[in-house]
Amino acid sequence: MPAALASRYAGALVDVVTGPQSQVDPQAAVRELRAFEGVFASSQELRNALASPAVPPGRKRAVVARLAETLSLSRAVRNFLYVLIDHRRTHHLPEIVDTFEVLLDARLGIVRADVASARELSERQQTMLRDELSRVAGAPVRLRFSVNPELIGGVVARIGSTVYDGSVAGQLEALEKRLRTE
């Protein structure tokens, strides 16, 4: 799916969940979409049924309505899924949900950061890192963690185009550059 198309659908949902008349918490909408996406990803039968032109839209809506009830989806999220059915876009759900989350964070003033560490970070370490990066960024930060053993130790955080390298590998590389110039 072209990014522009995913942005259009995701942006429309962001407008709905952040609008003055919204009765759904924006972060709850993310959780609901992720829950539905999990069911969608785990069931080839569901994906086939929602993508098949042989299955009438009314039947697709009925399936989604049952799942929405089981997953306790808000009316806004359920209706959004109906729009995807009506426009035959359900197979693009993962891209749309990812884009929705990015656009929602931007609307709410949440900065996104990617953090790589040499090993898995504890909850305490993650919280401390989130607090420090929020202070540096001047805004709340949503962190996405990954593990990269090549860092040897420490972390590398990227916020937009700015990289904060606190890794042992990065420090060794900087030391090597200094030694070469002396």
> Which residue, 48, 74, 107, sits at the end of a domain?
107
CATH number of residue 54's parent domain: 1.10.520
Residues 73 and 27 in one domain: yes
Average pLDDT on 111-139 reads 93
pTM: 0.79
For 85-104, the pLDDT digits (tens) are 999 999 899 999 999 999 99
> Which residue, 86, 107, 128, sits at the end of a domain?
107
Spatial distance between the Cα atoms of 24 and 18, rounded to a whole number of angstroms:
8
Contact 57, 85 (CB under 8 A): yes
Residues 141 and 174 in one domain: yes
Average pLDDT on 67-79 reads 96
Residues 8 and 95 in one domain: yes
pLDDT at residue 139, rounded to an integer: 94
Break the chain down into helix, strand, coil percent, rounded to 5: 65, 15, 20
Residues 25 and 93 in one domain: yes
> Which residue, 72, 107, 142, sits at the end of a domain?
107
For 142-156, the pLDDT digits (tens) are 999 999 998 888 889
User: Strand pairing partners for 159?
Assistant: 113, 162
For 18-67, the pLDDT digits (tens) are 999 888 999 999 999 999 999 999 999 999 999 999 999 999 999 999 99
How many CA atoms lie less than 13 Å away from 129 in the CB half-sphere?
A: 25
1 pLDDT tier (thresholds 50, 70, 90): low
pLDDT for residue 134 is more than 80: yes
pLDDT for residue 10 is more than 70: yes
Other beta carbons within 10 Å of 73: 24
Provide the domain limits for residue 162: 110-181
pLDDT for residue 172 is more than 80: no
pLDDT at residue 2, rounded to an integer: 67
